[in-house]
Amino acid sequence: MKFVMTLSTVSLLGIISILHVYWAYGGRWGTHAVIPSRAGEYKPAFVPGRLGTLFVAMLLLVVCFILLVQGGFVAYFVSNTLTRVGCFVCAAVFFLRAIGDFKYVGFFKNINHTSFAKNDTWLYSPLCLYFGFTCAILLL
């Protein structure tokens, strides 16, 4: 089970990282459904910049590496205190993202009728919860 969870999480995070690179360099596919918007408006709540988007893509790849090392999939790196702390931080971040900010994102958001909110309820927040569980399981 740990094997499947780790590889599926790393695969999904890799795809999400590639999407962030695509968006950072001007791609528009899917952007209307991945950025929160204010209630009753089609205007996004924020406009992410190129460097911020690339930074998120890089962080997602770092998470992939941490999970692969912690899961024992990288032959030359052994799980150590740094990867355990990294895994704990990743689990905390993913669980906090799933809970949300109580306004735009997470299971407990107030704005529920936008395109992003619907996707967040049925896809993004459950994925973050799954990613958080994967990180937590790799700590055990």
81: Cβ contacts below 8 Å, ≥ 6 apart: none
Which pLDDT value is given to residue 75? 87
Distances (CA, A) of 106 to 7, 122, 125: 24, 10, 6
pLDDT in tens, 84-114: 999 999 999 999 999 999 999 999 999 888 8
* Cβ proximity of 48 and 35 under 8 Å: yes
The C-alpha angle 88, 90, 91, rounded to 5 degrees, equals 65
Q: How far is it, in rounded angstroms, from Cα 10 to Cα 90?
A: 13
Nearest CA to 44 out of 55, 32, 54 is that of 32
pLDDT in tens, 4-60: 999 999 999 999 999 999 999 999 898 888 998 887 777 888 889 999 999 999 999
pTM: 0.92
Structure tokens at 32: 């209307």
